[in-house]
Copies of this chain bind each other. A is one copy, B any other.
Amino acid sequence: MKKFIPKKSVNLSAWYNQIVLAADLADYGSAKGTMIFKPYGYAIWELIQEHMNKLIKAKGVENAYFPLFIPESLLNREKKHFKGFSPELAVVTIGGGKELKERLIVRPTSETIIYQAYSKWVQSYRDLPILINQWCNVVRWEKRTYPFLRTSEFLWQEGHTAHATHAEARAMTKWAMAMYTKTYEEYFAIPGYVGKKSRAETFPGADTSLTYEALMPSGKALQSCTSHDLGQNFSQPFNISFLDQQGKTQFAWQTSWGLSTRSIGGLILVHGDDQGLRLPPELAPVQVIILPIKLDSKILEFCRGLFNVLDQEKIRVKIDERDDERVGYKINKWELKGVPLRLEVGE
């Protein structure tokens, strides 16, 4: 099967599209620009979630879930934000068989719908900070799509915090970027450059946007996640205000920060080679593949012993016992899938 895949060094984008399918990471969806996360690809996302949830919860940020649909008037309330997203919105106009009085936007990001809620929840400085994260799907209508890298629907986490002071909010954006840096360096094994986005590339509605940019084999940088200082750009139109310790009304200072399944696209691009994927151990759904050279009972028994030892150490291990594929094919297959360690067991 490998021979059908173009070489990474020769045609990067053809290689990318083929490897995603051949390694069983993903498939194309029926609706334009959407993709299916197949189990092997989704398992990488689950590992990312597992690692990041530990870091996020250790900071005291709690997971929650906010609605998919945003009433148009709400999105419209912060003008720069609305303008930034309006070319890529998916809009629900019919619900329960009837034309809706107010159109609903499928969330392209959740600032507006979340901050509408925060305005109800925050009254006094005692209610701050609010530290919330959500894992969800978002939709941005894209003209040209590539699996993982750019799809009309993708998965991500979005952190949304509200603070009593600007200094505290700024510290939060820095914490978020440090958390992403740790994630990229230790789990993705992808070095990067942390910097401030140019004015033109700043998130619509943000004062400043921090980004982790990683160098791709094309020579271009991939925006791998972002952390935004929103200032009071949302707290004013959404009226997220509180009584401070002196009894004075203040507007909250806010941040948002996100990392999406696009990160898996970067992972594929950076580490893959002409033999296929190469997954770093922390994000490999299968860390060790055991390959019996013959399927005879002595060899299989040894393989199972090996499996048990590794499994007890909480290593993600699998035995390939299929009897309808030759060994050479299996070697190729697991190379293609980028499993970090392959143990071939013969006599």
| A binding-site residues for B, Cβ under 8 Å | 27, 29-32, 34-39, 42-43, 45-46, 62-71, 74, 86-97, 103-104, 106, 113, 116-117, 120-121, 126, 132, 136-137, 139, 141-143, 152-153, 155, 324
Looking at the complex, which one of B70, B120, B143 makes contact with A96 (CB distance below 8 Å)?
B143
Tell me whether chain A's interface is mostly helix, strand or loop, or mixed.
mixed
Q: Given A90-B92, A91-B95, 17 other A-B contacts at CB below 8 A?
A: A30-B74, A31-B67, A34-B68, A35-B67, A37-B65, A39-B132, A42-B62, A42-B65, A43-B62, A68-B139, A69-B90, A69-B153, A91-B94, A92-B92, A95-B141, A97-B141, A137-B137
Cβ–Cβ contact A87 & B94, under 8 A:
no
Nearest B residue to A121 by beta-carbon distance? B27
Q: How far is the CA of A136 from the CA of B88 in the complex (A)?
A: 22
**Chain B nearest CB: distance from A94 CB in Å?**
4
Write out the residue numbers on chain B whose beta carbons fall within 8 Å of the beta carbon of A74: 30
Quick one: which of B31, B38, B46, B68 contacts A104, CB cutoff 8 A?
B31
Q: Are A30 and B113 in contact (CB under 8 A)?
A: yes
* B87 touching A96, Cβ below 8 Å: yes
16 sampled A-B residue pairs with Cβ under 8 A: A27-B120, A30-B71, A30-B116, A31-B104, A34-B68, A37-B65, A39-B63, A65-B155, A68-B153, A86-B97, A90-B92, A90-B94, A90-B96, A93-B93, A93-B94, A126-B324
State the CA gap A19–B149 with chains docked (Å): 43
